[in-house]
Amino acid sequence: MMEYNKLISKTNDILAWLEVNDAGALEGAIRGIITVAQVEGQTEKQYGNYWGSIRQMCGNLPNSPIRKGTQPSIPAEALACVDSVVTQVQTAFAGITENTDLLLEVVLPFRNTTGKGFESMDELAAYMAGRAKDALVKAHKDGRWDGTLNDGLTGMTPPQPASKKEDSE
């Protein structure tokens, strides 16, 4: 069972995610169920059933807007943009087909504690996508990114380098 206000909040988050992410053939179905679900005056059981259907469909997406565990610390609209960028970064790196052996040899994980590099371009792509996600979430928390995309770009301001203490002696 689910209260109407909770359903509205959760489904509006999904709609915001759909604005900047590709759900493929499922987008129409997800939007359709959300439209029916957001009609006021239904029972809490009906709202719960609709939400269950939406969750099931979103679970088929490679980058689902449904979050498990603790709630994210940034707004749903910004998180939707993060997901979009993560997908684009992962696709871009996975799509590299030239000089892959060289890249896998010289591009190493940050703070490499295993002494190993990446075993495949897919592994490198997933790593770089994770780095992009971390950078965007931190930038949003630091006020260096407003959580939106403009013409496919974040407009994120890079972090300022740590100031080095100069010897005064």
Per-residue model confidence as pLDDT tens digits over 103-153: 998 888 887 777 788 999 999 999 999 999 999 999 999 999 999 999 999
Closest CA to 51 of 80, 91, 11: 11
Mean pLDDT score, 147-166: 86
Apex 126 CA angle, 75 and 117, nearest 5: 140
Which of 12-16, 60-64, 112-116 has the largest mean confidence? 12-16
Crossing angle of helices 26-37 and 4-20, rounded to 10°: 150
Residues counted in the chain:
169
User: Contact 96/102 with Cβ under 8 angstroms?
Assistant: no
- Residues paired with 153 in a beta bridge: 150
**Separation CA 65–CA 78 (nearest Å):** 12
User: Contact 117/104 with Cβ under 8 angstroms?
Assistant: yes
pLDDT at 168: 46
**Separation CA 38–CA 145 (nearest Å):** 31
What digits encode the pLDDT tens for the residues 73-98? 889 899 999 999 999 999 999 999 99
Q: Which residue has the tokens 């990114």?
A: 145
- C-beta neighbour count of 17 within 10 angstroms: 24
Band the pLDDT of 70: cuts 50, 70, 90: low
Residues 6+ apart with CB under 8 A from 62: 87
pLDDT at 44 over 60: yes
pLDDT at 67: 81
pLDDT: which is higher, 163 or 4: 4
